[in-house]
Structure 1
């Protein structure tokens, strides 16, 4: 569809160029009710032939392939040859009494050649500029398309890493419940199935409704509450209107998951405070947790946070602010995402 629109735009541009050129050519003649010079129509035919020969062949074959010097000599020779043919077969006629009152100026014999060269040269140069712009625009669109595909592929790769990481942690939660023979184990399995359904059917999209992402976060927190022996200090506060807003799927979960992972001490007491503020201009997420008992970091322990950092750079370049603080007792993440044009 985009290529059809671009082709139509090019057709309109070409038609506009010829309307403008023909208008400038015939306006003085029609305005002064003078007879049309005999060489006008042959000259216009040669201009059109040179214009499109240059546009479709010379520029792509020589100028765009960096053989600039050869292209310039070839173009100059072609223009001079065309001027010679036009002036030889269709010489401009000057009225016999044109120089009765004045002397014939010197160099008059050269003037018709000069005027014809200028008349042919200007459209010729315009055709080169127009074709170079079209090629530049096409290459720019191709570059943007490739860049977009690369970003999309990288995001898919990041999500492929994130999903198994999330599943691993969730299964650990259910395993902990089963070891304790908790009656909440079946409920946890149902919650996990709902989370997995969201990840399978929604997480492959570029954007999802914000309210669905919030439901996903609520389900995840509920699953974590079932695992914890003390969840009194676990809170989620959401303010603002979420309808009509959209975000990339799984955008916030890594920060929340990390808070639960490191915000629980060896006694099972957890301190995790999650606040999400939605305004017309931005979405603000704050996640704060007490740092529990020291754990030896593993090779993959930071994969979720690292992935979400990369996603933010890819999706919101220059449109987000991420701050992380760690004073040894509290770990806090503050993320602000500024409103983009796309929404659901």
Structure 2
């Protein structure tokens, strides 16, 4: 936690304590100037509270961190007893006489007050540690997401790349124009994955273009051009979104799609309107690959982790499996 924020928390606690102490002191006497006449008593009370508070804050809280609660209880009782004895002696000897305070100070109220103030030190230390732990956890999660994205960028499907290059090679002599076009598309795809996703956010138009390029390369595998249908409706092309969220679903569909006589085998749509992005992917698949498709692989797991951190309360992911048709719908609400 920032040192300034820590100081603010401590100051806030002591301001509240001093105000409450002043109110209590005022109520103890009939004289409206009671506080001014006996400011020394208030100073002793504040000093006593500071000693008890920071003794627990710096020394006893360590038992809580180690989950040694029994030791904490024993030492807290002993510490409160010692601090209370010192406080009472100071009050009796140097400030108030028996004539001023005929009733004994060694009572339950004194002990309870001391114990309460002292434990406030442990509570504040615990609160600060909780905030620091939450911040560290959040930073680690974000760092992990960046590492996963880095791995996703560098994780090129070797089989996809090998098959694509082989297919392009087959067109070099028979259809050189198409082969050249495919090489350009492959180059754009690799460049986007490796270099253009490092900022953490890309535009929806860039993601849409990347999906088009990936599908264009995947179509080489299919004998019919209508095996894959992709439709997009982008209202605002500069809307920002985390990169490569949709590609694992696209690659999963293309990997396990079943070749049928009916078209299309894979239907994908991407819509952006106002603050909402809707991605849908439907594909038929072979029952033999059913278990593999359900597991989805590491890519889909990483996407789900990224969504839970990047869009924790602003996304819904729906996955349905009818036995031969796999359906994915991802809705993201952008700021």
| TM-score (structure 2 length as normaliser) | 0.75
Moved over 6 A (4+): 294-297, 301-304
Change over 3 Å in CA distance of 1:280–1:325 after alignment to 2: farther
Matches of 2:204 and 2:122 in 1, distance apart?
49
- Give yes or no for the alignment of 1:311 onto 2:311: no
Higher helix share: 2
Deviations 1:30-49 (A, max 9, x none): 98123225433233223223
8 A Cα contact 1:282 1:336, kept in partner: no
Whose Rg is larger?
1
User: Residue in 1 aligned with 2:319?
Assistant: 322
8 A Cα contact 1:209 1:246, kept in partner: yes
The structure 2 residue matched to 1:36, chosen from 31, 38, 49, is 38
Unmatched runs of 5 consecutive residues or more in structure 2: 309-314
Alignment of 1:232-271 (within 5 A): 232=226, 234-260=228-254
User: Residue in 2 aligned with 1:134?
Assistant: 128
User: Residue in 2 aligned with 1:49?
Assistant: 51
Alignment of 1:131-210 (within 5 A): 131-164=125-158, 166-178=160-172, 180-210=174-204
Please give the secondary structure, in 2, of the residue aligned with 1:81. Answer: helix
The Cα of 1:226 is off from its aligned counterpart by 6.3
Q: What's the RMSD between the two structures over aligned residues?
A: 3.9
Please give the secondary structure, in 2, of the residue aligned with 1:184. Answer: helix
Aligned residues: 318
Change over 3 Å in CA distance of 1:290–1:86 after alignment to 2: closer
Change over 3 Å in CA distance of 1:24–1:252 after alignment to 2: closer
Change over 3 Å in CA distance of 1:289–1:50 after alignment to 2: closer
8 A Cα contact 2:26 2:32, kept in partner: yes
| TM-score (structure 1 length as normaliser) | 0.74
The Cα of 1:310 is off from its aligned counterpart by 0.6
Alignment of 1:50-69 (within 5 A): 50-60=52-62, 62-65=63-66, 66=68, 67-69=71-73
- Give yes or no for the alignment of 1:217 onto 2:211: yes
The Cα of 1:11 is off from its aligned counterpart by 1.3
